[in-house]
């Protein structure tokens, strides 16, 4: 904040505090009794508005709020660049709360940090901790039940784009993932898009009436095998999904598959390294355990 704007804010704050104080005392009828029959001259539906001063308790309450405001602005930031005599900041408050939480919960995480993820995944208490971490950090995309949504993978099955082994899951959570399915319209044309979509759907047993499947296969073998492999089973190293298992991240309808091929897709899994190794360990174990029944 520049000095000009800091001074502007301080000036406005002081002026308005003084103005409110002046209005409060200037309109105080201290020399008159608390009750009077004088009216303001306003009458509505036979009800006259009396010209009485504020009750003393109400007046003192207003005075107390002004005093509180002055004390607050001296102790805490609120006057431009003036930090307040206590030196309080939001960042400092957050860091102190984090320190208290770390001191309280660090011993709990320490019990599991040296255990293999496979063992932690089978521990009930660790599972409850991992579930709360997941709800806080992951459910906004993958859902509270971890079954995902359009564009967000289901974590409860055994279909993994980047690999489902504990180390691979840990890498995905810690470092994030950036998937890129390039747009192919300019390369293969509209007819190529339709035929390739028909062939891709046929890999998982879906009907594609009216499409030249053989032509789509040729386009696939020329342009798509580098990522998805000649058999269409994908490549976890590249984040290329398996196209033969009838699991579709962006939908399996003809229009959806065509759009994926035509315009491409870009998925982003944000890195969660800020959680720290202990929480990442618990979170990876929880995610790994979600699909243990299918392993």
pLDDT at 291 (0 to 100) = 84
Instruction: Pick the closest to residue 25 from 50, 73, 60, 67 (CA basis).
Output: 60
In terms of DSSP H, where are the helices of 158-204?
Answer: 166-175, 185-203
Is 113 part of a structural domain of the chain?
yes
Binding site listing for heme c: 138, 141-142, 181, 224, 227-228, 269
* Same domain? 210 vs 289: no
CATH number at residue 162: 1.10.760.10
Four-CA torsion 286, 288, 291, 295, nearest 10 degrees:
-150
Note whether 177 and 269 are within 8 A (CB): yes
Query: Do residues 244 and 290 both lie within one domain?
Result: no
13-36 pLDDT per residue, tens: 999 999 999 998 887 765 455 566
Mean of the per-residue pLDDT values for the chain?
A: 91
Q: Identify whether residues 171 and 290 lie together within a single domain.
A: yes
Same domain, 136 and 148: yes
Domain that holds residue 194: 179-269
Please check whether residues 264 and 284 belong to one and the same domain.
no
So what's the pLDDT on residue 102? 84
Same domain as 188, residue 147: no
- Which pLDDT tens digit goes with each residue over 198-213? 999 999 999 988 899 9
State the average pLDDT over residues 152-171: 94
Bigger pLDDT: 214 or 40?
214
Q: What is the pLDDT of residues 111-155, one digit of tens each?
A: 999 999 999 999 999 999 999 999 999 999 999 999 999 999 999
Q: What is the DSSP letter of 275?
A: G
Please tell me whether residues 59 and 13 are part of one structural domain: yes
Residues marked as binding? 138, 141-142, 181, 224, 227-228, 269
SS3 152: strand
């Amino acid at each position: 904040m520049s000095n000009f704007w800091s001074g502007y804010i301080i000036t406005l704050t002081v002026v308005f505090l003084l103005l409110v104080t002046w209005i409060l005392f200037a309109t105080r009828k201290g020399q008159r009794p608390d009750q009077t029959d004088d009216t303001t001259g306003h009458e509505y539906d036979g009800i006259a508005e009396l010209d009485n001063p504020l009750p003393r308790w109400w007046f003192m309450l207003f005075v107390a709020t002004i005093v509180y405001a002055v004390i607050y602005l001296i102790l805490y930031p609120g006057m431009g660049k003036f930090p307040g005599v206590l030196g309080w900041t939001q960042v400092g408050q957050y860091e102190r709360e984090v320190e208290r939480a770390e001191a309280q919960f660090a011993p709990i995480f320490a019990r599991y940090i040296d255990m293999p993820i496979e063992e932690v995944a089978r521990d009930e208490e660790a599972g409850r901790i991992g579930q709360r971490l997941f709800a806080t950090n992951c459910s906004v995309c993958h859902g509270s039940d971890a079954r995902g949504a359009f564009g967000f993978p289901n974590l409860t099955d055994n279909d993994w784009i980047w690999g489902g082994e504990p180390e691979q899951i840990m890498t995905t959570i810690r470092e994030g993932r950036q998937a890129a399915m390039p747009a192919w319209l300019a390369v293969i044309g509209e007819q190529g898009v339709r035929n390739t979509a028909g062939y891709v759907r046929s890999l998982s047993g879906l009907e594609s009436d009216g499409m030249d499947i053989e032509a789509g296969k040729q386009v696939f073998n020329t342009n798509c095998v580098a990522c998805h492999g000649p058999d269409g089973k994908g490549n976890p190293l590249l984040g290329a999904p398996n196209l033969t298992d009838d699991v579709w991240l962006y939908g399996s309808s003809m229009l959806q598959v065509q759009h994926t091929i035509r315009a491409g897709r870009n998925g982003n899994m944000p890195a969660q390294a800020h959680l720290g190794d202990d929480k990442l360990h618990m979170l990876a174990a929880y995610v790994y355990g979600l699909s243990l029944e299918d392993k």
